[in-house]
Amino acid sequence: MKNRILDPDAGLMLKFAQGNNAAFDQILRKYKRLVINLAYRFIQNRAEAEDIAQEVFLRVYYSAKRYKPKAKFSTWIYKITANICINNLRSKKHLQIVSLNKPISTTGNEMITEMPDPTYIHPSANSEKKEINQLVKEAISSLPINQKMAVILQKYEGLSYREISEIMGCSIQAVDSLLQRAKQNLKRKLTPYFRKI
Amino acid sequence: MKCKKVKERLSAFMDDELDRKKTSEIEQHLAECSACNQELKLLTKTWGSLEVWEKIEPSDNFEAIFWQKIRGRELRQPLFQRLLTKVIPVPTAVIILIIGLVGGIYLCNILYPKETKVYTDESLSLVKENFLYLNNFEDFPPESLGGLYISLTSKGNNIKIEE
């Protein structure tokens, strides 16, 4: 009862469980941005992020009758999203990803780093912003899965260590350690580009 | 506090996750240590650089696609299941089922009562004549199982086993 008063979104979910479809519509409108952005930052693909968000809301929709407001509603929906994202990324791990920035091996034991592009134009100020954006994306993408999730939840969702520990199912100390290592990794990767950033 | 310990806590310090005592210890150390100060500056710059990654907006038809998926899934459910979950709630369906079962058994008992056999003296004696009584074992040879049974029941257990 206390939770219901504290968390209006949990109240919406309970209303929906009692057959009020408009309550679910409110949840969908309120959380779609949050869920899509969390998935997008984790997967780094817009179409896949939307698919994951659809999956998240389908799970929320069909678990309404079993829903018990033990934690904050937002924590619960973050947890579902994080689980689907992590499973999605792990299932894709068997695919070999070839980076276009890495040197390409040729038959004559020589390595070429890139293909000449006749349409290449020197980056303007606008494309420099895109480049920085790309650098940040790549740096985050290179982090181990758990560090990446902790960074996204802390930096972009502004969650506390306690909330992150609830979502990721680990201790607060573990979250602290994950973020500490993630920051060191990011520092190593991004420091050479600081003159651009 | 030593530099190693401070560096371990810089991340939590940046995120405002330390208690007042530890925060003040780190602040005190940073005021005196340029190396730790430099480390904090680099970490803060790194962390701040992540802000360039902008949010995206959901596609315009996101909600429409969601409700379409729900309708699609519901249509794929068997008619009986849809009736159960949508038209008749599950607890009501269970109560109706139990009432139907009990009522059916009751009606069945009224419409088709069980035939009870009433034995008259004559029919009873006829049954007795045709029934295989255990006393018939008397006709069996004494070494047989029937003979053994008779000796156990009628002669007071005086069985002699020949060696």
Write out residues in chain B with pLDDT < 70, as ranges: 78-89, 115-119, 127-139, 154-163
Q: Tell me what pLDDT residue A65 has.
A: 86
Say yes or no: B76 and B101 in one domain: yes
- The predicted complex's ipTM stands at 0.75
Please tell me the class of the A2-92 domain. mainly alpha
B75 and B104 belong to one structural domain: yes
Whether residue B107 is found in the same domain as residue B125: no
Residue at B55 is within a domain: no
Residues in chain B within 8 Å Cβ distance of A136: 49-50, 52-53
Q: Which domain holds residue B42?
A: 3-49
Asked if residue B70 belongs to a domain, the reply is: yes
Shared domain for B68 and B107, answered yes or no, is yes
pLDDT, tens only, A67-83:
888 889 999 999 999 99
Facing residue for B58 by CB, picked from A33, A179, A186: A33
What residues in B contact A64, CB-CB < 8 Å? Answer: none
Q: Are B38 and B7 part of one and the same domain?
A: yes
CB atoms within 10 A of CB A85: 26
CATH number of A122-193: 1.10.10.10
Q: Is the pLDDT of residue A45 over 80?
A: yes
Local structure of A115: helix, strand or coil: coil
Q: Report if residue B54 sits inside a domain.
A: no
Torsion, Cα of A17, A22, A24, A27 (10° steps)? -140
Q: What is the pTM of this model?
A: 0.67
Q: Which helix (H) or strand (E) holds A40?
A: helix A21-43
Is residue B38 located within the same domain as residue B68?
no
Cβ–Cβ contacts within 10 Å for residue B142, how many?
10
Tell me, yes or no, whether B9 and B44 share the same domain: yes
Site from A165, A183, A196 to mutate, B interface, most B CB atoms within 10 angstroms: A183
Give the total number of structural domains in chain B.
3
What residue spans define the domains of chain A?
Answer: 2-92, 122-193
